[in-house]
Amino acid sequence: MDIKKNKVFIECDCYSEGIMLEYEDDDFPHAYISMWKRGINPRKTGILWRLKYAWIILTGGELHGDEVVLKKESLTKMKSWLDKTVHKMEVHDK
């Protein structure tokens, strides 16, 4: 993960999802947090898991795909980026 000028992508430690953090420094500074998944079916799963997943959906349930699991290293990088972005917003407000 590289921290670019105003954007950072943090991959889930399960390697199937991630979040993109972006900062726009215009007249109204703001940050975006986007959820990402790899491909159509990001996880390699067996037939029993796929059948269970299909059954849950067919019977009206849902499985959330919006969780990202981050280890300490990824969280530290995310915190660093967020701290820099908050500082930029504070400077902009002055």
The number of folded domains in the chain is: 1
Q: Is residue 16 part of a domain?
A: yes
Q: Is residue 71 part of a domain?
A: yes
Q: Is residue 1 part of a domain?
A: no
Spatial CA neighbour of 63 closest among 90, 84, 45, 76: 45
Q: Do 83 and 76 meet the contact criterion of CB atoms below 8 Å apart?
A: no
Q: Is residue 41 part of a domain?
A: yes
Q: Is residue 2 part of a domain?
A: no
**DSSP states along 18-63:** EEEEEEE-SSS-EEEEEEEE-SSS-S---HHHHHHHHHHHHTT---
Q: Is residue 62 part of a domain?
A: yes
State pLDDT tens for residues 26-84: 777 777 778 877 655 555 667 887 787 778 778 876 554 555 667 788 878 989 999 99
Enclosing domain of residue 16 = 7-93
Q: What is the pLDDT of residue 2?
A: 47
Task: Determine if the pTM surpasses 0.75.
Answer: no
